Chain A
Amino acid sequence: MRGIVEIIRLIRDGAMENRLFFLLLAGFAFFPLYTGMADLPFWEDVAMRIMLLGMAAMGLNLVLGYGGMVSFGHAAFLGVGAYCVGISQSFGLMNGWVHLLISIGVCGGLGLVIGYLALRTSGIYFIMITLAFAQMLFFLFVSLEMFGGDDGMSIDRAEFLPFDLYEPLRLYFLIWAMLVLVSVALMLVVRSRFGVTLRAIRNNASRVEAMGLEPLGFRMTGYVISAVICGLAGALFASWQEYVSPDIMHWSRSGELMIIIVLGGLGTLAGPLLGAIVFLLLEEFLPEFLYLVAPAYAENWMIIFGPLLIAVVLFGRGGLMGMVGKLRAGRRDGDGS
């Protein structure tokens, strides 16, 4: 109940960032109305991918943006969440709700173990040990022949009783509802005493320690929550793709999630979602753009995307959310004069 009051207050008089966030979520709710009328089922698919990657990025953002822990292996949780669905199905378990619960539980436990071991280190060592654990899991699934190995395994669209996911748009709204759920949960977590402490630890861990709080516990909790969110996104990803392979947890995917967050704005609520929109639109439109300019190289859109990414790192501090903030600040200055 307090949560609902809090949310209403956030929408009413929260920062502009929060309003933008709710606007985005509402936009995704009404998007199928447009694609339905214009008959663009492909863009519904793109929107689902945006929501799924955005959800995973929001999970990672809790440790990366709010906690200041550069985890370079979060794609592993995405992959394990997806494999939880595939593996339970291969044992005849078809209930989608149960799949989600299994994914959440397994990723939470895994996050606890990896977090406990990785958080003993810091700095470059932390980046590398999270990468190492992700590689370990990647190679584990590559060589598990009974679950498809390299080739991956196909997945049936699970039963989410009482909903029939074969009905058009049901999966879309399931993903949307989960995204809203995760968003609201993260919003409350970030504003809670825990979230404030996590940010304080990011800014100055020894000062927090001097106040009598143990940073490790907070970091661990944050790490586990973010692992669970990535696992949930992975489980939904499996249902959406109806297929899972080790590709989903390749180390470059962890990089992609980081790109999405930095593109959108580190340590902001709307940033990861905004970043996912821009990232996937670039992925769709850069090849088309190249096709117009240099048709022979339409496939090689990464040659533009790579330098673009470097430019964002060099010049785009604060990402898109930072730009939104600057625009707003500029307007306020204009009003004042």
Chain B
Amino acid sequence: MTLFLEQLFNGLQAGVTLFLIAAGLTLILGIMDFVFLAHGSQVMVGAYAGAAITSWTGNFYLGLVLAIPVTFASGYLIEYLLIRHLYRRDHMEQVLATFGLILFFNELVRIGFGPAALFSDLPPSLGHFVEILPDTPYPVFRLVVIGVGLACALGIHLFVSRTKTGAMVRAGANNPEMTAALGVNITLLFRMIFAAGAAFAGLAGTLLGPLTSVEPGMGEPLLILSLVVIIIGGIGSVRGAFIAAIIIGIVDTLGRIFLPMLLRQILDGSAADGAGPALASMLVYILMAVVLVFRPQGLFPPRG
């Protein structure tokens, strides 16, 4: 039971981090109809910025806070220098150009910081455990990640659903041409969404830094998972992305721990040892395939 609760929290933490990455991506895909594969590189940029600033200043919080403007700037620059020239191109060209961007960023980081992984230590104030239930200690930092992620999710939701700019964003997702014709500066809107998306992805990377290893190419598995999130949630739907992210985070985490255990109960030892991990790592992709077969537009396609 303790183990289950612990893993449930880990799944929640993975889910909200995925949402931070997927939120920007779903707007980029939904509003601009742009397949931005280098979004994972923004996660990596955030993680490196956080780790580097932390080690230079010796202050983890400073790294966490300063990584946000760094990734915002990097998103802004990428949009300005490259992406805006690709909006009118077809999907495959967008895939290839942003694939080139991934190669470039990975190599840049490898030249700047070396091929080995960086590790950033948590400050003492975040490095300890608390009891979430009697006899169930849980690392404080993961709780902080969950808290920050949920706060951001709430903020993004309120922004999109309650503010005037948010209304423009939703209108842009439904019909960019009409929105532009109504006098919305769609160029600026696009660039800001891009930069804000990069900042949220960067925040996710900074938060993940102390939990995983910070290394070149660390963003790609996260990118692919957040693409799965967006597809399951429905492209362009922030609410769908949130629900799908939590589902994926929990299914993936619990699957990896409990599916092999479960299979060992049913099958004999060697077959279960072979099939368990294989099935567990395929689980989210199987989930995605099943969702798409029954609902090709995802679970919560944006109304429009």
Tell me the A residues contacting B by CB distance below 8 Å.
64, 70, 72, 117, 120-121, 123-125, 127-129, 131-133, 135-136, 139-140, 142-146, 251-252, 255, 258-259, 262, 297, 300, 302-303, 305-310, 312-314
Contacts and interface: CB of A to CB of B under 8 A. Distances in A.
A99 to B, nearest CB: 23
Contacts of A312: 96
Given A70-B95, A124-B235, A133-B285, 18 more contacts: A70-B91, A124-B91, A129-B289, A132-B228, A132-B288, A135-B224, A144-B278, A146-B274, A251-B220, A262-B92, A262-B96, A300-B107, A300-B110, A302-B104, A306-B105, A307-B104, A308-B100, A314-B86
Contacts of A251: 220, 224
A146 B111 CA distance: 37
A309 B96 contact: yes
Given A131-B224, A251-B224, A258-B96, A309 B288 contact: no
Interface in B234-285: 235, 273-274, 277-278, 280-282, 285
A145 B276 CA distance: 11
B99 interface: yes
Given A302-B106, A314-B85, A140 B296 contact: no
Contacts of B297: 125
A127 B95 contact: yes
A300 B96 contact: no
Contacts of A143: 274, 277-278, 280-281
Interface of B: 29, 33, 35, 82, 85-86, 89, 91-93, 95-97, 99-108, 110-111, 220, 224, 227-228, 231, 235, 273-274, 277-278, 280-282, 285-286, 288-289, 292-293, 296-297
Nearest to B29: A124
A146 B278 CA distance: 11
B35 A125 contact: no
A139 B100 CA distance: 24
Nearest to A146: B274
Nearest to A128: B231
Nearest to B82: A310
20 contacts: A70-B92, A120-B292, A120-B293, A127-B35, A127-B95, A132-B288, A133-B289, A136-B285, A142-B281, A143-B280, A145-B274, A258-B96, A259-B96, A303-B104, A303-B108, A306-B100, A306-B103, A310-B100, A310-B104, A313-B100
Grouping DSSP codes into helix (H, G, I), strand (E, B) and loop, the A interface class, with mixed when no group exceeds half, is: helix
Grouping DSSP codes into helix (H, G, I), strand (E, B) and loop, the B interface class, with mixed when no group exceeds half, is: helix
B231 A125 contact: yes
Nearest to A145: B274
A69 to B, nearest CB: 10
Contacts of B285: 132-133, 135-136, 139
Contacts of A131: 224, 227
B278 to A, nearest CB: 4
A260 to B, nearest CB: 11
Contacts of A262: 92-93, 96
A171 B111 CA distance: 39
A306 B96 contact: no
Contacts of A70: 91-92, 95
Contact of B95 (A72, A133, A136, A308): A72
Contacts of A72: 95
Contacts of B106: 302
Contacts of A135: 224, 285
A129 B292 contact: yes
Contacts of A305: 100, 103
Given A124-B91, A133-B289, A302-B104, A309 B227 contact: no
A277 to B, nearest CB: 18
Nearest to B92: A70
Nearest to A301: B107
A171 to B, nearest CB: 31
B99 A309 contact: yes
B266 to A, nearest CB: 18
Residue from the set A72, A127, A306 with the largest chain B CB neighbour count within 10 Å: A306
Contacts of A120: 292-293, 296
Contact of B35 (A124, A142, A252): A124
B135 to A, nearest CB: 33
A297 B111 contact: yes
A176 B106 CA distance: 35
Nearest to A65: B92
Contacts of B231: 125, 128-129, 132
A132 B289 contact: yes
A252 B38 CA distance: 13
A133 B292 CA distance: 12
Contacts of A127: 35, 91, 95
Contacts of B92: 64, 70, 258, 262
A306 B227 contact: no
B37 to A, nearest CB: 8
A300 B102 contact: no
A324 B86 CA distance: 24
Given A117-B293, A120-B292, A120-B293, A313 B89 contact: yes
Contacts of B95: 70, 72, 127, 255, 258
B105 to A, nearest CB: 8
A117 B296 CA distance: 10
A309 B91 contact: no
